[in-house]
Structure 1
């Protein structure tokens, strides 16, 4: 018997009621929010696809772990459980907890990034680049060119580092001026695209040869491992845990937001193999986060985090997660909606340039589209284009090749019926695309403007 899709590999124990506003109310809500979906009140949102960061549904075992919280100010038992779990799964020696991923980025950047240094990476991420630039560094994109082409679908690993670009940078600026290479697994702003094991191995070998650290942004490393298992030759019979262990053997450390593949609502860490780096990180975590044994998290949060890291390695869990994203993406492809291909691991990304070709990039088509989807349906999505890219050191806008709207699926939250509704909302918006107009800033924050910026219609 053929099934349209396999149902969720879990059953519901608790529910949260949803409500949808009338269209006039949605118009008023988005106008009040300055046409920025980040500034909407959650009570005014029907289906929330803004992010998968901290919006996950925890398991019964995680909730049981919450009751095991050791809230000691120093030496919490839950920290040791989290530390042992990271060491077991990733093989990294030292763990410094933080309140979330950007706390780890801040500490790493303050220690290693100095004025005049360069940090290569496979496409920028907003907060990561901001921390690097605030410490005087320069981010350099060394992802393969295909990653910037939204409809290039015959490339299985669009998150790969271009080794020639990386080597050219080393020769140009000198290895001594590159404190580390930041490898995102997966690459968020390319559309949730994975990096192959072969590429990770080659990047590590080139880095070791030149004395450069390899630091993963491992926020969605389990999704990356799933793609390696299903797309890369020689890994079909490997478990997710085995693939993860090999992935991290090609890294010197990592930053992580536990709010994604940790399946929790808060938490993160900076992990590394280098003892001197660890001691420096411990000194800074006290200043910005908390004691090295809690780093901005409560004991109960660390316990849920440790349990979630283990649950995320279950193949049935990650298969369902990625297949939900594929289901939504394929429904949009069938309807002729332009999206990033191949479909990534955590979200479907709409190509706003092709969706709204009459709106120039300086009128922020992705921001426009996210607002219009909300007006159409009450579904909240996120801009990932010119607004997110921000401005360079001279104050000029970046105008990235990819102008995207991200439809991000929280883990273990929505059903396929919710996804059918989302797909129809996108189709309805597409059918009236010619009547949609651009936006201009009415308020622009100096850093990470996409979080708090406000707009008005042209």
Structure 2
């Protein structure tokens, strides 16, 4: 019988032992953590699918690059290496390094947003919207409607609805819209890509109205790979060629290097406008560090530069997407409700369908993430009503998607690990009617999903 998956395009040189716990130990650990998987100790986790952010395995070339770290406080040679990589792969003129992606989001929001502005985007992301709102803007979701339907099969579910975008411009005026935040891919839709055709159309509307196009390019290589697979005219283009074209339609980008940069920390803000760059460098000194390191060590910048190139290698990204699909297909074949089509960085469980007897304000996704940990030691992440937070009036946002994210770190786990995950989820699904929801016992005012605590409902 032939293999049913693509073998790893790498070999393992170093291993790390992981803990194996009993069910009793996990029950105690999740209770101590307030049923919030973010508050678990990693030593109590068997397979960690909380995030793909900073959890990647670096290559031998990246580890070698660490030894080239120039830790000068100003003028580090590693900054030049990073800047050259961004200019070469993405085409942006200016690079402002930051400690991670949210540092770039903070600076971009402060230099572009005025009180009363609106920022459209193809679905919100937690930290991005928080920075926009803290600087006085209102976020408007302009993603296509299909993105909010977990069962709908669409090759580019992250696309902007151009009519929604134009309607917002007509409603509030272009002068109230500093930029559109275009995520490639869209995390909370299930890791869904944006087509090149849609990117071009967004850029055309934006430039006609004097609105900047700012990409959240955290997973830009995954987006490029989907374009290569699914969009007419791109099958014979290299990942690098597709990446370069994608960014040619943007005025700037925020980047968390902890994803497609294949490193454990770091990020940057990339820009083309010299005036915005000047404003950004003034703020990076306040919040991050000198413009030539911005919260990173020299060795981190060297590793990101190498990682950006490695991420654009076709063999790497093909295996990356195939690993995610492997897990998704196993769950789909067992009847487990997941977001379709399977995305680029994670498999998303539809907790509304999984626990259809638990109301959304009893946090079915949070419940499912906690129960999966107890079942198997697999740590996942809630992406539903808890992550969505509250509006300015203090009421819950009720997102249409109530999801649990099984996020696959890059170059870390084998297919055997994914089999364990699949078997655990399937077992939970068989016994789903026994689950009970949760209630808050502690709720922070901002980004509550990170540190909130819950207890089981009776």
**TM-score for both structures, normalised by structure 1:** 0.99
Match of 1:209 in 2: 208
Match of 1:11 in 2: 11
Match of 2:364 in 1: 365
Match of 1:451 in 2: 450
What is the deviation of 1:2? 4.4
Match of 2:148 in 1: 148
Q: Which string of whole-angstrom CA distances, capped at 9 and with x for unpartnered residues, describes residues 262-312 of structure 1?
A: 000000000010000000000000000000000000000000000000000
Match of 1:71 in 2: 71
Please give the alpha-carbon distance, in whole angstroms, between the structure 2 residues aligned to 1:177 and 1:144. Answer: 22
- The residue matched to 1:187 in structure 2 has which SS? coil
- The residue matched to 1:188 in structure 2 has which SS? coil
Match of 1:405 in 2: 404
| Structure 2: 5+ residue stretches without partners | none
Match of 1:325 in 2: 324
Aligned length: 457
- The residue matched to 2:188 in structure 1 has which SS? helix
**TM-score for both structures, normalised by structure 2:** 0.99
What is the deviation of 1:7? 1.1
Q: Which string of whole-angstrom CA distances, capped at 9 and with x for unpartnered residues, describes residues 186-228 of structure 1?
A: 0000000000000000000000000000000000000000000
Written as runs of structure 1 = structure 2, the 5 A alignment for 1:79-118 is 79-118=79-118
Match of 1:188 in 2: 187
Please give the alpha-carbon distance, in whole angstroms, between the structure 1 residues aligned to 2:6 and 2:139. Answer: 42
Please give the alpha-carbon distance, in whole angstroms, between the structure 1 residues aligned to 2:51 and 2:13. Answer: 23
Please give the alpha-carbon distance, in whole angstroms, between the structure 2 residues aligned to 1:112 and 1:104. Answer: 12
Match of 1:167 in 2: 166
Please give the alpha-carbon distance, in whole angstroms, between the structure 2 residues aligned to 1:362 and 1:20. Answer: 33
Please give the alpha-carbon distance, in whole angstroms, between the structure 2 residues aligned to 1:221 and 1:305. Answer: 14
Match of 1:134 in 2: 134
**Superposition misfits of 4+ residues, deviation over 4 angstroms:** none
Q: Which string of whole-angstrom CA distances, capped at 9 and with x for unpartnered residues, describes residues 1-40 of structure 1?
A: 9431121100000000112110000000000000000000
Please give the alpha-carbon distance, in whole angstroms, between the structure 2 residues aligned to 1:149 and 1:141. Answer: 15
Residue 39 (structure 2) pairs with residue 39 (structure 1): yes
Match of 2:304 in 1: 305
- The residue matched to 1:15 in structure 2 has which SS? coil
Please give the alpha-carbon distance, in whole angstroms, between the structure 1 residues aligned to 2:180 and 2:173. Answer: 13
Written as runs of structure 1 = structure 2, the 5 A alignment for 1:172-251 is 172-251=171-250
Please give the alpha-carbon distance, in whole angstroms, between the structure 2 residues aligned to 1:351 and 1:51. Answer: 17
Please give the alpha-carbon distance, in whole angstroms, between the structure 1 residues aligned to 2:23 and 2:246. Answer: 47
Please give the alpha-carbon distance, in whole angstroms, between the structure 1 residues aligned to 2:398 and 2:327. Answer: 28
Match of 2:432 in 1: 433
Match of 1:383 in 2: 382
What is the deviation of 1:242? 0.1
Please give the alpha-carbon distance, in whole angstroms, between the structure 2 residues aligned to 1:325 and 1:191. Answer: 12
Match of 2:314 in 1: 315
- The residue matched to 2:150 in structure 1 has which SS? coil
- The residue matched to 2:84 in structure 1 has which SS? helix
| Structure 1: 5+ residue stretches without partners | none
Please give the alpha-carbon distance, in whole angstroms, between the structure 1 residues aligned to 2:4 and 2:361. Answer: 42
Match of 2:156 in 1: 157
- The residue matched to 1:21 in structure 2 has which SS? coil
- The residue matched to 2:81 in structure 1 has which SS? helix
Please give the alpha-carbon distance, in whole angstroms, between the structure 2 residues aligned to 1:236 and 1:434. Answer: 45
Please give the alpha-carbon distance, in whole angstroms, between the structure 2 residues aligned to 1:180 and 1:195. Answer: 17
Please give the alpha-carbon distance, in whole angstroms, between the structure 2 residues aligned to 1:378 and 1:341. Answer: 25
What is the deviation of 1:427? 0.5
Please give the alpha-carbon distance, in whole angstroms, between the structure 2 residues aligned to 1:47 and 1:164. Answer: 43
Please give the alpha-carbon distance, in whole angstroms, between the structure 1 residues aligned to 2:18 and 2:93. Answer: 44
Match of 1:50 in 2: 50
Please give the alpha-carbon distance, in whole angstroms, between the structure 1 residues aligned to 2:393 and 2:112. Answer: 24
- The residue matched to 1:171 in structure 2 has which SS? helix
Q: Which string of whole-angstrom CA distances, capped at 9 and with x for unpartnered residues, describes residues 159-181 of structure 1?
A: 00000000000000000000000
What is the deviation of 1:55? 0.1
What is the deviation of 1:260? 0.1
